[in-house]
Chains A and B, each alone.
Chain A
Amino acid sequence: MITGFRRENGKVGIRNHVVILSAVVCANRVVEMISEQVPGVIPLTHQHGCSQIGRDKEQTVRTLAGIGKNPNVAATLIVGLGCETVQPEDLAKEIGTTGKPVEYLIIQESGGTLNTVGKGAELARKMVADASQVQRAEINLSDIILGTECGGSDTTSGLAANPATGYASDMLVESGATVILSETTELTGTEHVLAKRAGSQEVADSIFSIVDRVEEESKRMGVDIRGGNPTPGNIEGGLSTIEEKSLGCIYKAGTKPILEVMEYGETPSQKGLVVMDTPGQDIESISGMIAGGAQLIVFTTGRGTPTGSPIAPVVKICANPSTVKTMVDNIDIDLSEMIDGSKSLEEAGQEIYQEYLQVINGKQTRSEIFGHREFAIARIAITM
């Protein structure tokens, strides 16, 4: 049996967080101070929220609102300055469509730092008390959205960790769950492979179009993307080109038909395998999938990385025999036996699937235990 926290709108969380959310960079310190007063909350700060326009502003708003709407969040307190582009009231309205508790405070109207912290701490205290009353109940795998990520990749990612994760992704999709394949840069050179699995011509066209947008950017800048992706670490780990990295990356999403291509931070409209247009940078990519409603993240790595997420448990999987020793603290599942052939793909896939069930039920992942809460929003325009 798997359990979770059923929210007012019927969606299901696997964690029960109260989030103190900055609407703008200017509110970050107040968010931190409220969180120091009420340690049971998750502070969520970032560098954005002002002097943004067009699709770039919309993407930031969609991401911040998506964090509050994520079913792992029980309640949200937004803190804004007052004069910013991203208005706290608009965020509160959007998050409020879920029926979950949401409040906002504006520093310019609340009497500065100390008064806002005082009011915020009082609101946060009540939110934590109320959230603690929500009990776990039985849920279905069809309630789950898994975000897939790979970072600090090397050749073991494409040889072992990603194919094993793909095996588990297929099991999830067969159980009715949703799996997100992300990181558009790391689809470069695989479009023709993915397009064959597209559920419609429109989806196939979208796959080509989002990758094209990344390549156009490299042309606009007049540079080879090698160095940015694959990174120096990827190259040291044996990956020579973006095509090689990408072909290894796409294994992690499994082999099912691709039903949809979504914008960054958008919520899937279908259950099954979907693609989200996110950058190759791990933290921005994960943040986008969480804004889209992913309650669980799987993160394969070759060279090792400690990062997590403020909102979702991140399951770290590694098959590099050296990294599983040197970064043992940070790896949830050691698949290094796949490299010498002593563990089969099926065994590894089953192990990942079983770990998902335990993590859904509350088992803490390494990044949760260490309090890793990395968060970043992808930008698509310059700051005005």
Chain B
Amino acid sequence: MQQLIVINSKDNVATATRELAKGQEHKVEIDGKQAVLVVKEDIKFGHKIAIVDLAIGQEVVKYGEVIGRVTKDVWKGEHIHVHNVVSQRGRGDLTK
């Protein structure tokens, strides 16, 4: 059973299909190739993890499409969610 799913070969995040604990190593298949990823934080079921290092402002890609930008540097294996990703759409707060 896969514990981390990368949906599209362009993606820079994987989705956890079970709870993952900090420090665990997990196999992940990226574009047909097996890699091993060290989980740097506890990850809840269904949440995302970076599979490469992301620099502040970089686009987050899932389903092969852009889902937002990181607001800080994120290291491979770290949790990717609302604390470090913002949407680029429906941002009326930016036009005040």
Residues of A at the B interface (CB closer than 8 Å) are 154-156, 158-159, 185, 188-190, 193, 214-215, 217-226, 229, 235, 237-238, 240-244, 247-248, 302, 320, 322, 339-341
Q: Can you spell out 30 A-B residue pairs with CB atoms less than 8 angstroms apart?
A: A154-B46, A189-B66, A189-B67, A190-B65, A193-B65, A218-B90, A218-B91, A219-B92, A220-B92, A222-B95, A225-B91, A226-B82, A235-B82, A238-B15, A238-B45, A238-B46, A238-B47, A240-B60, A240-B68, A240-B80, A240-B82, A240-B85, A241-B89, A242-B89, A243-B67, A247-B67, A302-B46, A320-B46, A322-B45, A341-B1
Chain A: minimal CB distance from B13 (Å)? 9
- Encode contact with A along B58-96: 1 for CB under 8 Å, 0 otherwise: 001011011110000000000011100111111111111
Q: Bound complex: CA of A160 vs CA of B56, how far in Å? A: 31
Q: Is B7 an interface residue (CB 8 A)?
A: yes
Q: Which 4 A-B pairs have the closest CB atoms?
A: A225-B90, A238-B46, A218-B92, A241-B87
From known contacts A247-B67, A248-B63, infer whether A242 and B87 are also in contact, taking CB-CB under 8 Å.
yes
Contact yes or no, B87 A224, CB < 8 A: yes
Besides the contacts A238-B44, A241-B89, what 16 more A-B pairs have beta carbons closer than 8 Å? A159-B5, A188-B90, A189-B65, A189-B67, A189-B87, A218-B90, A219-B92, A225-B87, A225-B89, A238-B45, A241-B86, A243-B65, A244-B62, A247-B63, A340-B17, A341-B2
| Residues B19-55 near A (CB distance < 8 A) | 44-48
**Which chain B positions have C-beta within 8 A of A243?**
65-68, 87-89
**Which chain B positions have C-beta within 8 A of A188?**
89-90
**Which chain B positions have C-beta within 8 A of A220?**
92
A220, closest chain B residue (CB): B92
Q: Bound complex: CA of A193 vs CA of B68, how far in Å? A: 16
**Which chain A positions have C-beta within 8 A of B90?**
185, 188, 214-215, 218, 224-226, 229, 242
- Among A155, A241, A302, the one with the most B-chain Cβ atoms within 10 Å of its Cβ is A241
Q: Bound complex: CA of A188 vs CA of B62, how far in Å? A: 15
Residues of B at the A interface (CB closer than 8 Å) are 1-2, 5, 7, 15, 17, 44-48, 60, 62-63, 65-68, 80-82, 85-96
Q: Bound complex: CA of A225 vs CA of B92, how far in Å? A: 7
Contact yes or no, B46 A156, CB < 8 A: yes
**Which chain A positions have C-beta within 8 A of B89?**
188-189, 215, 225, 241-243
Q: Bound complex: CA of A159 vs CA of B47, how far in Å? A: 12
- Among A193, A235, A244, the one with the most B-chain Cβ atoms within 10 Å of its Cβ is A244
Q: Bound complex: CA of A215 vs CA of B46, how far in Å? A: 27
**Which chain B positions have C-beta within 8 A of A341?**
1-2
**Which chain B positions have C-beta within 8 A of A221?**
92
Which of A224, A248, A322, A339 is close to B91, meaning CB atoms less than 8 Å apart?
A224
- Among B17, B48, B80, B88, the one with the most A-chain Cβ atoms within 10 Å of its Cβ is B17
**Which chain A positions have C-beta within 8 A of B44?**
238
Contact yes or no, A155 B68, CB < 8 A: no
A191, closest chain B residue (CB): B89
**Which chain B positions have C-beta within 8 A of A241?**
67-68, 85-87, 89
**Which chain B positions have C-beta within 8 A of A235?**
81-82
Contact yes or no, B47 A155, CB < 8 A: yes
Chain A: minimal CB distance from B95 (Å)? 5
Which of B48, B65, B66, B94 is close to A240, meaning CB atoms less than 8 Å apart?
B48
**Which chain B positions have C-beta within 8 A of A214?**
90
Chain A: minimal CB distance from B57 (Å)? 15
**Which chain B positions have C-beta within 8 A of A322?**
45
B95, closest chain A residue (CB): A219
Q: Bound complex: CA of A215 vs CA of B86, how far in Å? A: 16
Which of B68, B92, B96 is close to A244, meaning CB atoms less than 8 Å apart?
B68
Q: Bound complex: CA of A19 vs CA of B2, how far in Å? A: 49
Q: Bound complex: CA of A111 vs CA of B88, how far in Å? A: 58
A241, closest chain B residue (CB): B87
